[in-house]
Amino acid sequence: MKINFVILLIALVILGFTALFENNYLDYSPPIPYSNLRSIDFSDFKGYKLPGQALQGTNEFAFIKTNRVVKFFSGKTLTVTTFFYPSRSYVYNQEIRSEDLLSHELYHMQITEYFSRLFRKEATEYTEDITSSQINFWERKYNRLENEMQMQYDDESDHSYVLSEQIRWEKKIDSCLNSLSKYGDSLIVLKK
């Protein structure tokens, strides 16, 4: 009896602890790079959702967590990689798994990739020695610009509910990515 109680208590503490970090460590999946975008589907959305959470009064939504990871190697190379975080992304209502909703969420990842490409372009064209402080400046700059575009995308498409705006945004994001296609590789060899 004592052992069962201890196991239950430990499980509750672990569950509570993981909720604090917004990661689902009980069904953890490592981040997925942008290069694997086409393989992502709703079965990859494994994060926790907050009880009672709704978006504009509806529970027909999903949330995707993406990020740009920058690594600087001895002043010679730089990687700027866009990732999707399965254990921090979720579908609010598991019955709502439409292709339109998935497409909307994946375009959020493509917006992150667009700003990763802008970051790579700026780093490639930079004529001085790149320092850690310069990289930090670019990270703040592109995070701010990306956050603005992410919010504008959701506001104007009403989280994909306004189909004409969703289509317009998809074309815009595709065009942005295509215009920077030569900066699609995460690895940058810096000029000296």
pTM equals: 0.84
Residue 19 belongs to some domain of the structure: no
CA angle 28–34–38, rounded 5-degree value: 90
Residue 23 belongs to some domain of the structure: no
pLDDT tens for 16-59 read 554 555 666 677 789 999 999 999 998 898 887 665 555 554 55
Residue 155 belongs to some domain of the structure: yes
Residue 22 belongs to some domain of the structure: no
Residue 24 belongs to some domain of the structure: no
Residue 124 belongs to some domain of the structure: yes
pLDDT tens for 95-134 read 665 888 899 999 999 999 999 999 999 999 998 888 889 9
What's the rounded Cα separation, in Å, for the pair 82 and 106? Answer: 12
Residue 6 belongs to some domain of the structure: no
